[in-house]
Amino acid sequence: MQLLTTANTKIRKGEKIGFMSFGLHLAPANMSGVNVCSHASAGCIASCLNTAGRGAMSPVQKARIAKTKFFSSETQVFMAQLKKEIAAAIKKAIKKNFTPCFRLNLTSDLPWESIKIDGKNLMQIFPEVQFYDYTKNPSRMGKFCERLLPTNYHLTFSRSECNDAVVQAVMQSGGNIAAVFRGALPATWNGKRVVNGDETDLRFLDPVNSVVGLVQKGKAKKDASGFVIA
């Protein structure tokens, strides 16, 4: 089965400014029986964009579950295939005059910096390309803020209805926060500039120590948990 995709509408927005993003969709939370979102909140799970667009189709959901089980049961085989696909994707993007970049947690929150093949993580294997993700894992984000992750791996911390204390700590450490808002985005939030995170998915281009504003979509429109900021 093919692991990487460019079919996600959000990641394709980067092509208008010269980037070709490749992403990996897994079945979020413990939908597959394997929990790939260790810090997902109830509001996050209920509002997940896993079923947005083509994700609502049964074959797509089955494929994501199959990929997740593949990753869990045969991790090194999975990683070997992912490594090959990344190498091919880099060549494809360059051939089309795009800068390649990779988001491996489109619908998961796995610590790719700790998952290795032949003693190296993917960022170390491909140091010339940019990787990026969102995370709700405080430990991962803390390491990013302390510059303990590979320099070509950018993380943005995702706010939920129950992690505001971590959000404040991340902001004080200079990290970026992603937050979902109801309606129009505010100019500032908690004293920080809000940038429109819906224009592209290229979080590594965002100004340092800013808030990435995302407008509610799909199931998030019915959120009552506090995950969406009113």
Say which residue the tokens 């990435």 belong to: 212
pLDDT at 104: 98
pLDDT at 54: 58
Contact criterion met (CB below 8 Å) for 122 and 149? no
CB atoms < 10 A from the CB of 35, how many?
A: 15
The whole-angstrom separation of Cα 60 and Cα 56 is 7
pLDDT at 52: 61
Per-residue pLDDT of the chain (230 residues; tens, 9 = 90+): 999 999 888 899 999 999 999 999 999 988 999 999 999 988 888 878 675 665 556 688 899 999 999 999 999 999 999 999 999 999 999 999 999 999 999 999 999 999 999 999 999 999 999 999 999 999 999 999 999 999 999 999 999 999 999 999 999 999 999 999 998 899 999 999 999 999 999 999 999 999 999 998 887 788 888 899 98
User: Of all residues in the chain, what percent are helix, strand and coil, respectively (each to 5)?
Assistant: 40, 20, 40
Give me the amino acid identity at 15.
E
Domain that holds residue 150: 4-229
pLDDT at 222: 84
How many domains does the chain fold into? 1
pLDDT at 51: 54
